[in-house]
Amino acid sequence: MNTRVPEKSESNFSELEKHLLNDFQHDLPLTENPFADIASKLGSDEQTVISTLQNLKDRGIISRVGPVFRPNRIGVSTLAAMAVPEEELVLVAEKVSAYAEVNHNYERLHHFNLWFVVTARDDSHLDKVLQEMENNCGYSVMSLPMLEDYFIDLGFDLKWT
């Protein structure tokens, strides 16, 4: 039984959900019927696997079933930060989030308090977006593009206890 899971987090997962969340982050079968193949590994059936994944997606537990691209292999991206006065943060964050080129956008507890990732198809488009953002928000954007990746993505090992 879980003893350390904090309140209000989603913690009541069925065995099927736990396996779907933990075991298929890396290699979804590239076969004609991938969900049927998953089902046979887990002793379930195709329709149950599909509806369970859909339900996890609807609840926001998973963002998608699909690829994680290696950064900067397809298009370009950067991690950007702004230092925004507290009283304007929500407004500026909404302006930043409104860009389709922005995927992650977080408040962090620091002088630089707004951190977001911007992706684009090429450098000139990326520069244009960052420039436009500065004009639009009224704060300078610090851009910290990745120079080297030391991490091998093996998915995230979820500990259920």
Partner 1 sequence: MDMTVLNPNLEQALISVIEQGLPLVPRPYADIALQIGCSEQEVIEGLQALKNRGDIKRFGVVVRHRKLGYRANGMVVWDVPDEEVKRLGHCIGQYSFVTLCYRRPRQLPEWGYNLFTMVHGRNQQEVEEKTLLLVEQCGLDDIKHEILFSSRCFKQRGARYISNNPLAEIKISPASDQK
**Structural tokens at position 124:** 């000139």
Residue 87 CB, shortest distance to partner 1, in Å, is: 14
What order do you get walking across the sheet with 76-82 strand by strand?
114-120, 76-82, 142-144
Q: Does 117 bind partner 1 (CB under 8 A)?
A: yes
Q: Does 144 bind partner 1 (CB under 8 A)?
A: yes
Q: Which residue has the tokens 């030391």?
A: 150
Choosing from 43, 85, 135, 147, the residue that interacts with partner 1 (CB under 8 A) is 147
Residue 10 CB, shortest distance to partner 1, in Å, is: 5
Residue 158: name the closest of 9, 41, 7 by CA: 9
Within residues 21-50, the interface with partner 1 by CB under 8 A covers: 21, 24-28, 30-36, 46, 50
Amino acid at 132: E
Residue 159 CB, shortest distance to partner 1, in Å, is: 9
CB neighbours of 41 closer than 8 A, spacing ≥ 6? Answer: none
CB neighbours of 122 closer than 8 A, spacing ≥ 6? Answer: 75, 76
What's the chain's length in residues?
161
Residue 158: name the closest of 58, 25, 55 by CA: 25
Choosing from 93, 130, 133, 137, the residue that interacts with partner 1 (CB under 8 A) is 93
Choosing from 44, 77, 82, 130, the residue that interacts with partner 1 (CB under 8 A) is 77
Cβ-based nearer residue to partner 1, 112 or 138: 112
Within residues 122-141, the interface with partner 1 by CB under 8 A covers: none
Q: Does 68 bind partner 1 (CB under 8 A)?
A: yes
Q: Does 63 bind partner 1 (CB under 8 A)?
A: yes
